[in-house]
């Protein structure tokens, strides 16, 4: 759940796809936060820009809606509409390794996609950075000066993404090593 929408208990949901039909096409949603899972019967759901505005029983005001912030909405994969050639659900990109180019032009693993978001113009890959290694080699997380995992944002646009192989869990890009 992205956040509350309005004052009457609606919620704004950011789908993991530019196509929200999977959320709009079913009235039973499963919500997950950590290990807790709850089933809700959706009273209303409609597109609202790149998000979905939804309501369900038991939420009557903004404060009650805010209590759901941070919960993930799950629907059965069977409810997802079929995709055209070359299209991907954001969910399918999560966990893929991002392959970039070294200074010498060789392929290197730059990290793993941990999230996908939308800035209004295009999708953005949130990549947990790795110490660059050759494809097939064990991936080690890249750490910042404080010892915390580094992350970078990569625009999911043709200028940077050369190809996606969901079966191989691989995204080929022109993103440079050492970004």
Task: Indicate the residue among 79, 99, 127 that finishes a domain.
Answer: 79
- What CATH number did the domain enclosing 62 receive? 2.40.30.60
Same domain, 96 and 169: yes
Checking if the pLDDT of 112 tops 90, the result is yes
Q: Which helix (H) or strand (E) holds 70?
A: none
* SS3 state at 148: coil
Q: What is the pLDDT of residue 82?
A: 81
**What are the backbone dihedrals phi and psi of residue 137, each rounded to the nearest 5 degrees, phi first?**
-85, 155
* Count of structural domains within the chain: 2
Question: How would residue 83 be classed by pLDDT, with cut points 50, 70 and 90?
Answer: confident
Checking if the pLDDT of 161 tops 90, the result is yes
Average pLDDT over residues 68-94: 85
Interval 11-29: pLDDT, tens: 998 886 656 777 888 889 9
Same domain, 94 and 171: yes
Our separate counts of H helices and E strands in the chain read: 3, 14
Same domain, 59 and 103: no
Q: Is pTM beyond 0.75 here?
A: no
Q: What is the pLDDT of residue 140?
A: 86
- What residue numbers bound the domain in which 136 lies? 90-176
Q: What share of the chain is helix, strand, coil (3-state, %, to 5)?
A: 10, 45, 45
Same domain, 103 and 146: yes
Same domain, 94 and 74: no
Task: Indicate the residue among 12, 44, 79 that finishes a domain.
Answer: 79
* SS3 state at 81: coil
**What are the backbone dihedrals phi and psi of residue 60, each rounded to the nearest 5 degrees, phi first?**
-115, -15
Task: Indicate the residue among 49, 79, 109 that finishes a domain.
Answer: 79
Same domain, 68 and 109: no
Same domain, 104 and 145: yes
Same domain, 98 and 165: yes
Instruction: Report yes or no: 74 and 30 within 8 Å, Cβ to Cβ.
Output: yes
């Amino acid at each position: 759940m992205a956040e509350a929408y309005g004052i009457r208990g609606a919620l704004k949901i950011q789908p993991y796809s530019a196509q929200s039909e999977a959320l709009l096409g079913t009235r039973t949603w499963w919500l997950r936060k950590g290990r807790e899972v709850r089933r809700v019967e959706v009273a209303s759901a409609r597109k609202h820009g790149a998000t979905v505005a939804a309501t369900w029983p038991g939420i009557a005001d903004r404060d009650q809606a805010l209590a759901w912030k941070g919960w993930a909405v799950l629907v059965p994969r069977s409810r997802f509409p079929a995709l055209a050639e070359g299209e991907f659900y954001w969910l399918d990109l999560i966990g893929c390794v991002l392959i970039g180019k070294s200074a010498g032009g060789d392929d290197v693993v730059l990290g793993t996609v941990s999230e996908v978001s939308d800035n209004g113009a295009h999708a953005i890959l949130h990549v947990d950075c790795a110490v660059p290694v050759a494809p097939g080699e064990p991936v080690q997380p890249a750490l910042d000066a404080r010892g915390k995992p580094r992350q970078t944002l990569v625009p999911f646009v043709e200028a940077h993404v050369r190809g996606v192989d969901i079966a191989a869990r691989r995204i080929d890009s022109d993103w440079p090593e050492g970004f």
